[in-house]
Structures are given as structure tokens and as C-alpha cells.
Amino acid sequence: MEKKKLIEFRNIVKNFDGNFVLKGVNLDIYEKEFVTLLGPSGCGKTTLLRILGGFLDADEGSVMFDGEEISNKPPYERELNTVFQKYALFPHLSVFENIAFGLRIKKMSSDVIEQKVMKMLKLIGLEGYENKNVTHMSGGQQQRVAIARALVNEPKVLLLDEPLAALDLKLRKEMQYELKRIQQEVGITFIFVTHDQEEALTMSDKIVVMKGGEIQQVGTPEEIYNEPANSYVANFIGESNIIPGIMLEDYKVQFDDIVFDCVDFGFKKDEKVDVVIRPEDIDIVEVSQGKMTGEVLSVLFKGVHYEIMVETVPGTTVTVNMHVIRNTDVTSEDGKEKISANDFYVDIEDVAKLDDKEIIALSNAQAWNPETDELTSISKIEYELQEELGTYPVIFYAPGGTSIEKKIFVVNQRFVKNEKANEAVMAFNFFITVDEIKESKALDTDIKTWANAQGWKLSDENQSVDISVDYEFDPENINVGIYKVTFSTTGREFKIHTTDYSKEGEEVGLTFFPEDIHVMSKVVYE
Amino acid sequence: MKKFSQLAIPYIVWMVLMLVLPVALIAMYSVTTHGNSIISFSFTLEHYKKFFTDSDFLLVLGRSLMIALKTTIICLLLGYPAAYFIARSSEKVQNLLIMAITIPTWINMLVRTYAWIGLLSDGGIVQQILKLLGLGEVELLYTEGAVLLGMVYNFIPFMILQINSALCKMDASLLEAAADLGASKAETFKKVTFPLSLPGVINGITLVFLPAVSSFFIPKLLGGGQYFLIGNLIENQFITAGEWNFGSAISMIMAASMMLMMMLVKKIEVRNNGGKEEV
Amino acid sequence: MKQDKRMFGKILMGLLIVFFYAPIIYMIVFSFNEGKSLTHFSGFSLKWYQHMLESRDMMESLYTTFSIAILSTLISTVVGTITAIGLSKSKKVVRDVVEQVNNLPIMNPEIVTAIGFMLFFITFRVEKGYITMLLAHIAFCIPYVILSVMPKVRSLDPNLADAAMDLGATPMQALIKVIVPQITPGIVSGALIAFTMSVDDFIISYFVTGQGVKNLSIMVYTMSKRVNPSINAVSTLVVAIITVALLAINLIPAFVAKQQEKGRGNGSKPLLFAVAGVLVVISTIGFALHGGLKGSEKPYQGQTLRIYSPGEYMGENIIPAFEEMTGARVVLELFDSNEQMYIKVANGESYDILIPSDYMIERLIQEELLQKLDQSQIINMDFINEEVKNLSYDPGNEYSVPYFWGSVGIIYDTTKVTREELEKDGYNIFLNPKYKGDIYLYDSERDSFMMALKALGYSMNTEKEEELQKAYEWFETCVTTMEPEIVTDEIIDNMAQGRKALGIVYSGDAAYIMSENEDMGYFEPLEGTNNWCDAMVIPANAENVELAQEFMNYLCSYEAAYDNSDFVGYTSPNEEVMDDLYGEGGTYEGINAYIPRSGYEMDESFVFNERTRKIISNLWSKVKIVASNVN
């Protein structure tokens, strides 16, 4: 069945104050379609809709409607109607008058108006509500009135601007079916704007995925889900595992040093690609039967299935020494003030960036009143630091004059690089007292601070990488001594949706079919 | 949160003392015979009778309501387009214009009204401009026109600000919705903008009409000694004649008639809201 | 089409802006006028500013206006905010009732609120003055604060205070640290409204003030009858103060933001700055007013003399000179009519000296509101003209010392009216259609009725109701056919400028008018007139009798009497002064109005009679009402 082209956007460009919201959009919309414009806020979907509605003028390009250029027509001359985001019902008019508004403007006779409005009320299931005050209706009811108000004018196209955003979840689901039903009943084109991918998948005949003022992919819900054009679409529609890979030849893709069969072709030899595997397409099997192996990191129960995270490639790790020492508090002569601090290590490259605040934090310096246990601030610190390797003294003063002297070790700290994972981690040996460990309320975080542990991307030093802490001592019963602490990043993780349970820490195998591997061109991020 | 509710108690006491009691005193004075004290107390309606049986008093009340009505209409006719113009300007211009309208209201009303005496007096600037326009030597000061001008001058900012804030509060998508449904600019104004700005209009009318009825310094300064409105009548009873009981009765009558007028206006508003059923 | 509409809007807006600012600009320009005229700019001068600075009345009114505005703003803002917060947690019934009552001063005509306050203070015997004015201002400001804070409080998350207290804040801390910062915009706008309302207020202040306390509005209202460009100067000063305050409020936030870019802005700061700024100005004025008086020891150092006098009735050097001489401070309060004065005195307000007219003195003596003078203390009594001593209202001058005396007569423009016509028609010339729209009547019940009664050939002290009714009818004819303007002191400047052909005036005002305009003449009709005398008396409840007598004594002296009469134009009771001012080289040389007719058999003095007073008072009100209904 060949459908008739109803709306054509031709190279639509729009900018607000130099900000390009639409960067040359081309799109065709056919008769009787339910089309969804999908994308995160700021992607330009609403702008496109408002240009079609006539509330905004495009800077460039043209809009054809039924073969006719309509860019210069005011909204009230266009054969389409809009359902606004917050409905925009006229608060001074009753339900009936709201719906009749457009008809009254067209100066229809009142019996015709009555007939049409009543028909509409029936369609939206609000018979008997005609004299209600719209401001006193529930969100769902207002929504229906807004739809009726638009549809009663018998437009060729109905525009809906995130109409369900203001409703709660249950009502939203109900309205999704309702909208689809109405669309099928009246048989006109609906153009629906939303940022909710589930909504889009449920209702649409055609989904237009947008991002940054450009169309990423146009297709049926199945096409969009199963064959996302790029990792952006894959990520936005449903959940995905996205892995960087290399297309060795047609039907052969390599990722994480393993070569897999796939059904994709037409890429250049050794082209860098993104590989998408949907979580529900991966099965957990015995280690021996798996195409890949890994360790189960976490298992979450999600109702119909488990969400299991499996680490196939370990992360980058670094291990440092934690020197647990005796308390070295200094108490003032009158016993009313105490001060404590620790020696600490610092990288020679960071010496220049050190200031009082940072030194106090790294040394964990504290002053307090032992009688009330109230913390006071460190009033002054004295130190001499040079950008040379060595040991430097630092003295901390409490407000009452009590002081404590500690050492700063300036070292050339190595960091662990992991080229494959494009990341590096670094941490310092550190000194800490028993009490400080015992009093810590969030020990993992504190240890990261004390060790000044950091992780970052090799490609961009400013992009940090999450690290986790691992140690074997028992913080409750720790004694003076030296302990190992390991900091590590996460490696390659796969998200798997399955109805079978696995245990955390278990070694498992992963398997999937060649057709479950979706290979996509790399998106070039600006 | 019981604790916080006690915060209102001191004011409630003060309110009874300073707001309720005075009104009660006026009401009491208006129905008692002579004597400016609460000890000797004897009930009478003679003050009300005196007012209502004398056509001259009624005429004064009528004239006061009339001039207040005229003031209100002029303020509305000038103020609405002005407010509309402001609301449709860019935000920067909007702030500037609102400032321009507000600043004069910060300066003492009497001071500003006094300035009009000089502008309107014989040989004054306004008269000379009118003369240049070929309108001849018109007497301006101590006429009803002068009083009307003084009232419009003092009260029109309230009208503009009220209507403007109602217009600004209006959701822009309502106008888009009207256009979307086929209404032209004029139709949108008639069917959506104006009805929705009505609350602002009503507030504006209240803020202009109420003070205009009871004002007594504007008529005295710009209308001259023989220009007597209900406010002057009350002032006269209290300050010169010493007839506090009669003065109180007139005050009650004025307050009541104004409340009546306001209720009437509110009713019109409700009717204009078109068959809206309260739930 | 669209363009046309914008055009229309632009023109309208432009005209409105001109309309709003024309009077303000006019005021500023004419405050620098060299001459006294309100219509012709005759050159640049600062003399009205000097005049303003020298006038303690004006400076005090400025001080009163702004100190009351700031105090009432502060108090009402704090109370209003606390109440709004309290109300938001109160039961709905309480909240609704309070909100309704709160609307009273907003929805009620201001004059009704004002009368309510006045009756309230009088009923509870609170002496009216600065404190009552402040209380009233606070009372009508709080509702506006509540009205603007309430919506902000309502829109707060109800759990905010709970969250703060959950984290260990006391209710007070929760209030100050969490709730108040959230509703600051509402508080600021409430405070601004309160401040404007207070600065702007006239009606309420007018009814609740006493003891000579005046704010700017009252000052302008009482002074507006005479041409006084100093009002323009003081207005310009107000414009300047307000402009500076507004600029401060609008610019300081930007400035502060620039200064400490990273520091978080504090919404209440600009207001604080503005308030602080105005406070500095106020306290400077206050200091100048009060601090400047401390000097060397003088006999009455630190004491206060409170005088209640008719407006425009005292030479401008009298009070400064007396203060200089005695070291005392004089508070001068002005009244429009004897009746107005009587109401206040009868209601127990306390003054040291009153200056009423003859018949009113008679009434005050009858009602035992006056005290006898210590005759031995008033040595200067000897200078007083025998003609005004021992008059019927106070035989033997036991209670009173004459202040001014004179007659009531017709002021006429000799270029329009001839003496023959006046002699022929007498007072009935005010019914002559030839002068329709060209006459002034004087807004004084007793002197107006004197004129009508005399015109009809009756005694002005008649007790016959039908004669009074006839007199009323005489006026009815006059106001319905002659288009008179009923004025008080405005007549002085207007006749001096020759605005109308005829008017009824007091002889003293006539003398001043004639000294200003040679074309004017004064005529005392042959039907007779009122020979009146105003005198100084000491009320029974006076607080400083000794100082009062000192003042009386001083005014009888040649220097003071000369200065007084020379400035005001009324006839001095000091015979020597009268002769000198009338005689060669005197200010009122050859001006007949300065020497009132005496010994003419048709002339009378007023006799007090409560019954006729009431009738006349009512009838005169009616005359004014009828006159205004003619328009």
C-alpha cells in the first residue's frame, strides 16, 4: 500500500541566539501515520513541531503541506491542530466552550457545534462533563479535552507536544492506548513529541530519533530497536552493551581480543566500529561453553528477570601500603586543646598546586577540645616545600597555640597505565592512626582520600574514572602495622537480562548468536 | 508545628484592637445620640434618617460615585491599552516602563497633586499650551475637569500595573492554542486575552474606584472650596462641625454603598466567565 | 496593521509618561524660581531652598514623614512576616477570618479607616501625636506586608521547617535560617509597599495626628492655600531622596554582585543599605533640628510652649526671636477655624496658648476651659489699644490678651466695581448678576452668616430661626445663580493677582492684598459688619502657664507687635504700632483696611449661643453642599 506524502520538511535550520537547535532537518511524513519525534530535551523535536504548527519561523528551509509551501501561513490558516504540553485549556471557558472554540471562530451554527462537540465528548469518553470547569478536572481529563478541542476541527494532522509528560505512570499507560485508539478511529496523521522511548515504541508507526538538532534514525519501532543506526540510538532505545570493536571483514568482528561471527557486512576492512548486544540476547552458560568468560559482579532482581553484571576483562589496579601508626596527638599544657595530624606523600608534580586547605586535608589534621569533643579549626600552618624530591617539615597550629610537626614526603609516584582499557590509576602510600580508621564512618571513601587515589582516561586526563577499594584487614580490630590496600577500576562489564540465577563471584561463560551482534559505524562526537 | 501557629496570636490581638474595634466604634457612633463618649449611650437612627431624607446629601453621594465612576472609566480606557502595550514589549522595555510608572507613585501623592495647582492655574503651562492649540483661554483649576484629572493622575498607575500583571501571568501557550484553533489576532484578543485579563481589570477598578470615591484632598486642592464630595462632607463633620455621630453615619453609608458597588462588579466578572460551574 | 497598533501604543505610552512626569518636572523647575509666581519663571535662585531649610515646620515634617515611614516599615515587615508564617500553620478557620479582617483597611475607604483610628484613640484617651501616627501607620501597613508575604509562605514546601528541625535547628533557627531566606522576595516587596504607603499617606495621618506633629502630606495640605514655592523645594528634596533610595535598591545588588562574584547574594542586603542610607539622612535632619537648640543657659531652657493658632497668622520672626530670648522651644499647631480648635480643646488636647476669636473665648470661659491670667505678670498690657480692651466677651480682660482685631468687609477690584455700586447694594452686590462667576465667598460659617443676616437687615446675633432660614435662602440664591467660589486663605493670593472682582475678607487680609495690588479697595458695608477681636488665652489644662504669660507679654511689646502686624497685615492691638504702620512710611500707609471702622452703630460683635451656632453650622454645610451640587 503506497501512502501519500503529507508533510515534507526540507533542510530546516533554526537557531536561537546563535545556538543551532535544528541543523538542516529533512523528513517526510505520510498520511494516517502515527509518527513520534523522539529525543532528549534540547534535541530540537519540539522546535520542529512548533515550526510545523506555525508558532515559530524556520531560519532556512521550507515546509510543504499536502504539496503546498506553508512556511508563511499564520497558525490559524494551517490545516493542523496542536495538543499543547500543559494542554493550554482556556480557564475561563467550560469544557463545552473549550471544545467549541474553533468551531465558533468558524462561525458554525450552534446546532452543528452542539452536535460536533457532543460527538467529540463521546469519542474521548467525557459525556456529561460539558459544563464542568476545566480548571477543576484531573490531568487525564484535561488531556482528553485538549485532544477533543483539537480534533473537533477535523485537522489533517494532529500535533502532540509531550502531552503525557504531566501524567502519572498508570494514567500515562492508559492514555497511550487511548491515543492510539483515537488515532486509528479518526484515521489522521498524529505527530507526537516525546522523550520517553517506551512511549515511542508502544504507540508509533514510525519513530524519528533526534539528537542535537539532527535526525539520527527514522524507522519502525522494530527497526529502531533491532538495528540501531549508531550507539547513540542503541543507548537511547532500550538498554544495551556497547563495546568498541574492529570489523575485520564481512561477517567477522573482533572485540576484547576475540573474533566473533556476525551477520553484518559492508564495512571497510579493519574499520573501527561499535558493537551492540542487547542484555536479553546474552545467555549465561558453563565456563567451558561460553564464547567469553567472566566473573559475576552483581545480581539484581528486577521482577520478571535478573539483571546480572559480568566482568569479562578485569580493570586496572594499583596497590599501596597503609602505615597504621600510634596516635601522635599533642595536648596543650592546660589540657584544653588537642591537635593531631599525619605524615603524607605527595607527587612532585602536584607540589605546585598544594595550598593550606589541601595540606590539612591530606594530613588529616584536626584540632579539638578534649573536654567537649568539639572540633575547632586549624588556625595556622607553616611549611617550606620545594619542587624537589625529599622530606619537608610542616607544623600545624590549633587556635590555642598548640602545635604538631609532621613530614611531607615529596616523591615521584608511578602510576599504572592500562592502554587497552584507555585508563590509568595512581595512589600513594599513607600514614593513618588506629583511631582514625575506627572512627571513620565511610572507610572506603576515606581511604581513597588518604591515599589520594585517582583514576583517569589516558585519552583525556580531565576525564576521571571510578575506582573501587579493596583490602583484607578488619577495620574493627586493626593494630599498628603495614597493610596492603588495592585500588582498581572496573573492566569490561556486560549487562545481562536472564531468568536464571547466578551467584555473585561465580565464574561464568557468556554466549550469544551471531545475529544478536549489531555492528554500527562509530558516531563522531563533536 | 503547633509552635509556629502561635506566632500569629500577637497580631490577632492587635488586629482586634486596631482594626476591628475602630470600625465597631464608627458603627456605634453612627447609631448613638450626642456625646463623644461610650459611657452615655442611647440608640438612635436619626443620623441615617437625616442623610437619607435630604436630597442634597444624597446628591453629594451620587456625585461622588459619579466622579469615581468617570475616573475609573478613563483609567480603564487609557490604562488597558497601555498595560497591553507593556505586556507585549520585550522584557527589558517592560521592566523599564514598569519602573517609569512606579517611580512617581513613590513620591508623595499630595506633593504631586500640589504640583498640578501650578500647572493648571490661570496663566499656567497647560492653559498656555491649550491657547497655542487654539482652544482659547480655558479655565482649568477649580473645575470638575481638574478634579477628574487629579484623580486619574493619582490612580491610573494602579490600573495599569494590575492589568499588566494579569496579562503577564497569562500562559503564552493559550494564545498559541487560540491561533492553532483558527482565531485571528482580533478574535484571540476578544475571546481569550480580554476575558482572562478580567481579574486584573477588576482589581484595577477596585484600586481606582475605592480611593476615588472617598478622596477629599484632590477635590479640595484642585476643585476649590465649593467642590464638595462625600469625603469632604465626612471631613467637615469631624474636623469643623464636630458632628461625629452624623459623620460616622455618613462613613457607614459610604462604606456600605461602595461594598455594594464592588459586589456588583464582581458579579459582572462571574457572569463574564461564561457558564462556569463551580465544583 | 501590526505596525499601526504598536504606533498607537507607543504614542499612548509616551503621552502617559509625559503626564506622569510633567508635574514632577514642573515642581523641580519652579523650586528654583526667583519669583513667587507659580506660572512664570523669572530666573534661577536658591532662595526657596534657603527658606525651606530655615523653616522648622518643613524640616520637621520631612523628619516625621521619613522616620515614621522607616519605623513603621521595619515594625510592620517583621510583624507581618511572623504573622504570615504563623497563619500558614494555623487552622483554616483562623486563617480565613484573619485574612478577611486584614482586608478591612485595604478594602475600606481610607477615610473610614482614618476615622476609626481617630475615634479609637479618643475613646481610649491616647493623646494624639507622633506615637498615634506611628501606631496607625503600622496598623495599615501590616496587612499589605501579610498580603505580599502570604503567597510566598504558602508556596513553601511544608516540610522545610520540619527538615531543619530534624537536622537539629530550634524552631527559631528554622525560621531564620530556612523559612525567611525562602520568602525574602515577598518580604522585600511587602516592605517596599509598606514604605510607599507610609510616605504617601495623608488621610489617616491627618485624622490621627496631634500636638502639631505634621508629616509632609499634612504640611502640604495646610500650606497649599497660599502660594508658597518652598513646597516645591521640599518636594524636590523628597524626589531626590526617593530617587537615591530607588537607585540604591536597584544598583547596589549589581554592585555587590560585582564586588564578590563568588559570594552568594543576599536579597535583603540592598534594602538594608537603602534603609541605612535614609536613616543617616533622617538622623542628620533630626540632629540638626534638636541638637542645634542646645546653647547657653536661658530662663526657660529646655521647656516647651505649645501654641494653637489660626493658619498664616504669625510673623515669621516671632517664634525664632522668642526662642532665642527664652531658650524655650515653641511648637506651633495651626487650625482652619475656631470650631476645629474647639473640638480638639474640648476633647482634652493640651496647649499652653490658644488664639481664638471673641465669641469662642466667651464659649471657652463659659465652659471653664480657660484659666485666669495673672494680670501682674503681663506688664505690657498697658500698650494695648483701649478700643480692644474690656470687650463684652471678657470684661476686664481676666482671661485674654488681644492679638489682632479688625472687621469683615468686601475686597473689590476698583477697575471693575465702583464705590457707588457698593454703597448702593451693600452685601447684596453678591447677588448682582453683573458679577456672576466673578466673586469669592469666605468659608467661615459665622462670618458668612453675618453677611447674609446684615444684607437682610437683621442682627448678626439673631436667635430667630426664620431669620436664619432667610439668610440660608439668601445664600441659596447666591450659590445657585452667581457661581461663587468658596475659599479660605486662597483668596489672599488670588485677589492680590486680581483674579476676581469681589470677595469677602477680613480687614487684615484686605490690608495685605491692597499692599500688594493698588487696584484693590476695601469696603465696610453700611448695613454693618462684624467687629472682631482675636486674643491669646491660656487653657485650663495648660502645662506651662508661666512661659505662656511670658509669650503674651512679649507679643504686646512694640518690637514683637510691629513685626507681627507688619508681616501678617492684621491690625495690631498695640496702638503705637498701629499708628506707625498706617502712618507715613509705614507698610500699610493709607490703606483703609488696616484701620477698621469703629464706633459705627450698625456694627456688632459676636455673642456665643450654642443653639444658633449649631443651626448656622448645619445651614452653612448645606450651603456648601448646594453650591457643589450646582456644578
**Residue closest to C533 by CA, chosen among C340, C384, C424:** C384
Domain range for residue A206?
A: 5-234
Q: Which of A217, A234, A251 is the last residue of a domain?
A: A234
Determine, for residues B233 and C625 on separate chains, whether the beta-carbon distance falls below 8 Å. yes
Backbone φ and ψ of A134, nearest 5°: -65, -30
Determine, for residues B11 and C217 on separate chains, whether the beta-carbon distance falls below 8 Å. no
User: What nine digits make up the cell of A154?
Assistant: 477535523
Q: Specify whether A23 is located in the same domain as A165.
A: yes
Q: Enumerate the residues of chain B whose CB falls inside 8 A of the CB of residue C122.
A: 36
End-to-end CA distance of chain C: 43
Q: Specify whether C319 is located in the same domain as C341.
A: yes
HEC states along C279-347? HHHHHHHHHHHHHCCCCCCCCCCCCEEEEEEECCCCCCCHHHHHHHHHCCEEEEEEECCHHHHHHHHHC
CATH of the domain at B116: 1.10.3720.10
Q: Specify whether A218 is located in the same domain as A282.
A: no
Determine, for residues C196 and B156 on separate chains, whether the beta-carbon distance falls below 8 Å. no
Q: Specify whether A465 is located in the same domain as A515.
A: no
Q: Is residue B45 part of a domain?
A: no
Q: Specify whether A64 is located in the same domain as A104.
A: yes
Looking at residue A1, what is its pLDDT? 47
**Residue closest to C375 by CA, chosen among C361, C387, C390, C362:** C390
Q: Specify whether C261 is located in the same domain as C151.
A: yes
User: What nine digits make up the cell of C166?
Assistant: 530534624
Q: Specify whether A257 is located in the same domain as A229.
A: no
User: What nine digits make up the cell of C140?
Assistant: 495599615
Return the residue matching grid coordinates 511689646. Answer: C557
B275 band by pLDDT with thresholds 50, 70 and 90: very low
- Sheet containing A454-457: order of strands: A416-418, A423-426, A454-457
Q: Specify whether C205 is located in the same domain as C100.
A: yes
Q: Specify whether C326 is located in the same domain as C285.
A: no
Q: Is residue A76 part of a domain?
A: yes
Please tell me the distance from the alpha carbon of residue B4 to that of residue B15, in angstroms, as a whole number.
Answer: 18
Residue B201, H or E segment: helix B194-214
Chains contacting C (3+ CB pairs below 8 angstroms): B
Interface B:C, Cβ pairs < 8 A: 298
Transcribe C404-462 into DSSP letters.
EEE-EEEEEETTT--HHHHHHHGGGGGG-GGGTT-EEEE--HHHHHHHHHHHTT--TT-
For C337-384, write each residue's pLDDT tens digit: 888 898 888 888 889 999 999 989 999 999 899 999 887 777 777 788
For C482-491, write each residue's pLDDT tens digit: 888 888 888 8
Please tell me the distance from the alpha carbon of residue A10 to that of residue A71, in angstroms, as a whole number.
Answer: 11
Q: Specify whether A326 is located in the same domain as A475.
A: yes
Q: Which of A234, A262, A293 is the last residue of a domain?
A: A234
In eight-state DSSP terms, residue C396 is: G
Q: Specify whether A140 is located in the same domain as A264.
A: no
CA distance C462 to chain B (A): 20
- pLDDT over 80 at C321, yes or no: yes
Q: Is residue B36 part of a domain?
A: no
Looking at residue C127, what is its pLDDT? 83
Q: Enumerate the residues of chain B whose CB falls inside 8 A of the CB of residue C161.
A: 1, 4
Looking at residue C77, what is its pLDDT? 94
Q: Specify whether A218 is located in the same domain as A327.
A: no
Q: Is residue A104 part of a domain?
A: yes
Q: Specify whether C74 is located in the same domain as C133.
A: yes
Helix (H, G, I), strand (E, B) or coil at A431: strand
Q: What is the mean pLDDT of chain C?
A: 85
Q: Specify whether A428 is located in the same domain as A366.
A: yes
Helix (H, G, I), strand (E, B) or coil at B30: helix
Q: Specify whether C391 is located in the same domain as C457.
A: no
Determine, for residues A132 and B174 on separate chains, whether the beta-carbon distance falls below 8 Å. no
Domain range for residue C384?
A: 304-405+534-582
Q: Enumerate the residues of chain B whose CB falls inside 8 A of the CB of residue C235.
A: 107-108, 111, 114-115
- The residues that bridge with A397 in the sheet, in sequence order, are A380, A403
Tally of domains in chain C: 4
User: What nine digits make up the cell of B162?
Assistant: 494590575
Q: Is residue C574 part of a domain?
A: yes
Tally of domains in chain B: 1
Strands, E assignment, A326-451: 330-331, 338-340, 344-347, 366-369, 374-376, 380-383, 390-397, 403-411, 416-418, 423-426, 430-433
- Helix B144-169 vs helix B109-120: crossing angle, to nearest 10: 130
Q: Is residue C592 part of a domain?
A: no
- pLDDT over 60 at C269, yes or no: no
- The residues that bridge with C354 in the sheet, in sequence order, are C308, C537
Looking at residue A526, what is its pLDDT? 42
Q: Which of A188, A203, A234 is the last residue of a domain?
A: A234
What was the ipTM of the complex prediction? 0.89
C258 band by pLDDT with thresholds 50, 70 and 90: low
Other beta carbons within 10 Å of C85:
24
The residue type found at C175 is L
- pLDDT over 50 at B279, yes or no: no
CATH of the domain at C256: 1.10.3720.10
**Residue closest to A343 by CA, chosen among A394, A271, A278:** A394
Q: Is residue C221 part of a domain?
A: yes
User: What nine digits make up the cell of A175?
Assistant: 492514555
- Sheet containing A80-83: order of strands: A80-83, A157-161, A189-194, A34-38, A206-211, A214-219
Q: Specify whether A190 is located in the same domain as A308.
A: no
Return the residue matching grid coordinates 607553616. Answer: A382
Which residue in chain B has the smallest CA separation from A154? B181
Q: Is residue C56 part of a domain?
A: yes
Backbone φ and ψ of C328, nearest 5°: -85, 165
Backbone φ and ψ of C410, nearest 5°: -105, 125
Q: Specify whether A18 is located in the same domain as A83.
A: yes
CA distance to B12, C159, C172, C179, per residue, from C156 (Å): 23, 8, 17, 8
For A149-159, write each residue's pLDDT tens digit: 999 988 999 99
Q: Tell which wins on pLDDT, C582 or C171.
A: C582
Q: Specify whether A162 is located in the same domain as A37.
A: yes
Q: In chain A, which residues have pLDDT < 50? A: 1, 526
**Residue closest to A519 by CA, chosen among A300, A303, A264:** A264
CATH of the domain at C563: 3.40.190.10
Q: Specify whether C271 is located in the same domain as C308.
A: no
Domain range for residue B233?
A: 55-272
Q: Is residue B215 part of a domain?
A: yes
Q: Is residue C590 part of a domain?
A: no
Q: Which of residues 69-108 of B touch C (CB under 8 A)?
A: 78, 81-82, 84-86, 88, 97, 100-101, 103-108
Q: Is residue B200 part of a domain?
A: yes
Looking at residue C1, what is its pLDDT? 44
Looking at residue A436, what is its pLDDT? 84
Q: Specify whether C520 is located in the same domain as C548.
A: no
CA distance to B194, C90, C193, per residue, from B12 (Å): 39, 12, 21
CA distance A100 to chain B (A): 10
Q: Is residue A63 part of a domain?
A: yes
**Residue closest to C563 by CA, chosen among C547, C581, C551, C545:** C581
C630 band by pLDDT with thresholds 50, 70 and 90: confident
Return the residue matching grid coordinates 473645575. Answer: B143
Strand bridging mode A5-16 / A60-65? antiparallel
Looking at residue B1, what is its pLDDT? 46
Please tell me the distance from the alpha carbon of residue C435 to that of residue B121, in angstroms, as a whole number.
Answer: 21
Looking at residue B270, what is its pLDDT? 67
Listed in sequence order, the residues at least 6 apart from A124 whose beta carbon sits closer than 8 Å to its beta carbon are A144, A145, A147, A148, A182
User: What nine digits make up the cell of A329?
Assistant: 596527638
Mean pLDDT score, C296-316: 84
Which residue in chain B has the smallest CA separation from A155? B181
Task: Kindly tell me the number of DSSP H helices and DSSP E strands found in chain A.
Answer: 11, 35
Structure pTM? 0.78
Tally of domains in chain A: 3
Nearest to B23 among C116, C339, C484 (CB): C116
Mean pLDDT score, B172-178: 88
Say if CB C20 and CB B100 are below 8 A apart: yes
User: What nine digits make up the cell of A228?
Assistant: 540501531
- pLDDT over 80 at C38, yes or no: no
Residue A219, H or E segment: strand A214-219
CA distance to A229, A230, A294, per residue, from A246 (Å): 17, 15, 21
**Residue closest to A456 by CA, chosen among A426, A411, A501, A494:** A426
Please tell me the distance from the alpha carbon of residue C252 to that of residue C272, in angstroms, as a whole number.
Answer: 10
User: What nine digits make up the cell of A246?
Assistant: 574492529
For C398-438, write each residue's pLDDT tens digit: 899 999 999 999 999 989 889 888 888 889 998 989 898 88
Say if CB C206 and CB C128 are below 8 A apart: no
Query: Exposed, middle or buried: residue A483 (CB in 10 Å: 0-12, 13-18, 19+)?
Result: middle
CA distance to A226, A247, A255, A262, C107, per residue, from A244 (Å): 18, 10, 7, 15, 73
User: What nine digits make up the cell of A416?
Assistant: 599504572
Mean pLDDT score, C438-451: 89
Q: Which of residues 166-195 of B touch C (CB under 8 A)?
A: none
Q: Is residue C512 part of a domain?
A: yes
